[in-house]
Structure 1
Amino acid sequence: MSVTVLFCRESWADPQIALPAYETPGAAGADIRACLPDDLREAGMTFAPMQRAVVPTGLCVEIPPGFEMQIRPRSGLALKHGITLPNTPGTIDSDYRGPLGVALVNLGTAPYTIAHGDRIAQIIIAPVLQARFMLTDTLSATARGLGGFGSTGRS
């Protein structure tokens, strides 16, 4: 299945920064890049350990109704540098039309600089089902029952 996601650039955005793209034919996520404002383009955005901030992409998005955009970490940035998302996956709803930013956090032990044009996250386009929520006096029984965190064992 294929859907079309529309993007437009913010007025200040660098048109040389590529739109999100799948890096391999089997990729589930498309890489999205940092598009830094003029005053940060040369130096980049440096994240101290435990610092979090929103990295701009310079893009606004129109997602088709019935779909969402999930923002997920890039595994290489997470493993090598501790750069991840504090709210993963982040969700962009189909009715949002504002600037698309990526909240990042540095969980590593050293400062890390995001450069203009760096791949900072990946996006997944996924179908959305909206549930009906109902109140009831009882719930059906299961073998697990009330067992919570860790109740099914280690393996």
Structure 2
Amino acid sequence: MAESVEVLIVADRIPAYAHPGDAGADLSAAEAVELAPGQRATVGTGVSIALPDGYVAFVVPRSGLAARHGITIVNSPGTVDAGYRGEIRVTLLNTDALVPYSVAVGDRIAQIVIMPVTRARFVPVEVLPGSHRGGSGFGSTGYNEQGDRA
């Protein structure tokens, strides 16, 4: 069984895990919103949490909403730091070019994933050590030298 952590919460609807072993617990809308094609809106969840120091919460899209309706989260993953005590709000985007999407109170709109976090100690240097990848950037493993898919 996975480790659990106690998270203090104020909410009308407590986030819930749909299945044993799920990483994300569903967050529900606390307000109704109509998203026109291409429109975004920030939707309240009515959830406020107090994470223990050393933990972070990530708010991520629900795959079913994305696949069936084109609904995603603009700033995914949204980061909830341990010191934040305000309401968790989710900025939804309707990526469908033709069909509006209605969010009703109680609809599951996102998932929240709670994770331990490691803080970095940044060490300034003049030159970084080499690596196999080096300075190759975004998409560098999917194309050959001629720019064709590898």
Q: Same fold (TM over 0.5)?
A: yes
> Where does structure 1 differ by over 4 angstroms across 4 or more consecutive aligned residues?
none
Distance 2:85 2:47 in 1: 10
CA apart distance, 1:30: 0.4
- Other-structure match for 1:152: 141
- Other-structure match for 2:111: 122
- Other-structure match for 1:135: 124
Distance 1:65 1:102 in 2: 23
- TM-score relative to the length of structure 2: 0.88
- Other-structure match for 2:30: 35
- Counting matched residue pairs gives 141
CA apart distance, 1:108: 1.2
CA apart distance, 1:2: 0.6
Q: Does 1:95 align with 2:97?
A: no
CA apart distance, 1:99: 1.4
- Other-structure match for 1:65: 53
SS at match of 1:84: strand
CA apart distance, 1:135: 1.5
CA apart distance, 1:137: 0.6
SS at match of 1:103: strand
SS at match of 1:22: coil
- Other-structure match for 1:26: 21
CA apart distance, 1:146: 2.0
Q: Using the aligned pairs only, state the percent identity.
A: 50
Cα root mean square deviation, aligned: 1.3
- TM-score relative to the length of structure 1: 0.85
CA apart distance, 1:86: 0.7
**5+ unaligned residues in a row in structure 2: which ranges?**
144-149
